[in-house]
Chain A
């Protein structure tokens, strides 16, 4: 038994070291009160929704600066437009629903950021939808995204029809967070995960959908 423990401990330590080296820290600091807010009407104009690359590119350039990410406010119809892939047909879409008060959401975010970094240039659209209170749109939400160095287009769902929004996304989803949905290029859900993602599984699903594009 002792020998077994002696064998396991170095392995566990190595694993912990690898994780700590590769993951951005998940502290609770809420900063950044300076980002712009765009209402869904503007956000979903085709000209605005389409250029994810430009948007992401612009954000990438300022990653090292102190600018916090833009968080766009969407209502139910805005969410529907987002998921309908208007102007973005032909590209798979990954959507993560989260909130700053949701611990597993915060815990999985470094993995989501890595996956975005790995796949965006290869043709994957990835958006995050926060369901925080709208009062957090200039504070907690962009503050956390900045801390995570998240560059995926970020939205905050502000609607009195949360039940309708959940049912629109997936009639079998009760609304637990985090929740991650992968749509293929035709807009069909091909993978979903409720709870903290398993990065390997998600990567495999993305690889599959990208190869079928």
Chain B
């Protein structure tokens, strides 16, 4: 009997530890033939609930000319530094057939938390709750904020940062907007993958 309790305790402990930890990647970085979220790969349709619990899909949310998926957080100061810029981006490109969709994949933040945050920060673009990090895993999303640009056929043509400075007055490169402009002009994206420091997505 005691053995069973001990086993249950050990199991609980290991599950808690796993929940608290981040992604562990092999030193050589090998992930298989195709890296999740690789530039040029196509994102197949997915279904996720919005912050009201209503199921949405990529096919229902995508823009006529393209879609921007941005992994966001409620508590991440880097993501929060971009709230106004993300909203402006959504408004600027909506009329041009590109929809911005936020994705909250943090297991530590509920749909209610994300909804209250969106309301208080005037975020009007749709935000999805990625329970179990399914979409984050499929795209290899690692941090907030991290943006993916999908063209009209859902092919990833850009992934990475929104721009190069947390402080809006210091921005000197806006790679996400550059990628959108290139896409809308039918030109190749000059810088298609640009990393940036941000908060780790808290996987459940």
CB <8 Å contact, B27 and A192: yes
What per-residue 1/0 map shows which CB atoms of A168-202 lie under 8 Å from chain B? 00111111111000000000011111111110010
Residues of A within 8 A of B197 (CB): 97, 99, 131, 162, 166, 175-177
CB <8 Å contact, B142 and A174: yes
Q: How large is the interface on B (under 10, 10 to 19, 20 to 34, 35 or more residues)?
A: 35 or more
> Which of B4-12, B41-49, B97-105 is near enough to bind chain A?
B4-12
CA distance A167 to B141 in the complex (A): 16
CB <8 Å contact, A172 and B25: yes
Which residues in chain B, 165-204, are within 8 Å of chain A measured between CB atoms? Answer: 166, 172, 194-203
Q: How far is the CB of A139 from chain B (nearest CB, A)?
A: 16
Residues of A within 8 A of B142 (CB): 173-176, 194
Residues of A within 8 A of B146 (CB): 174
CA distance A113 to B200 in the complex (A): 21
Residues of A within 8 A of B22 (CB): 104, 176, 178, 193-196
CB <8 Å contact, A11 and B27: no
Q: B21: CB under 8 A from chain A? A: yes
Interface contacts (Cβ under 8 Å), in number, total 105
Residues of A within 8 A of B62 (CB): none
Residues of B within 8 A of A102 (CB): 199
CA distance A133 to B167 in the complex (A): 10
Q: A160-B164, A174-B143, A175-B143 are in contact. Are A195 and B196 (CB under 8 A)?
A: no
Q: B129: CB under 8 A from chain A? A: no
> Which A residues are closer than 8 A to B by beta carbons?
3-4, 7-8, 11, 15, 97, 99, 101-104, 131, 133, 160, 162-163, 166-167, 170-178, 189-198, 201
Q: How far is the CB of A23 from chain B (nearest CB, A)?
A: 14
Kindly list 11 other residue pairs between chains A and B, CB separation below 8 angstroms, not including A176-B200, A198-B24: A8-B12, A104-B202, A162-B197, A163-B195, A172-B35, A175-B196, A175-B197, A177-B143, A194-B25, A196-B20, A196-B22
CB <8 Å contact, B198 and A176: yes
CA distance A97 to B198 in the complex (A): 11
Chain B residue nearest to A8 (CB atoms) is B9
CA distance A142 to B20 in the complex (A): 26
CA distance A99 to B143 in the complex (A): 14
CB <8 Å contact, A170 and B196: no
CB <8 Å contact, B161 and A163: yes
Q: B160: CB under 8 A from chain A? A: yes
Residues of B within 8 A of A195 (CB): 21-23, 200, 203
Q: A163-B161, A196-B21 are in contact. Are A176 and B143 (CB under 8 A)?
A: yes
Which residues in chain B, 15-31, are within 8 Å of chain A measured between CB atoms? Answer: 17, 20-25, 27, 29
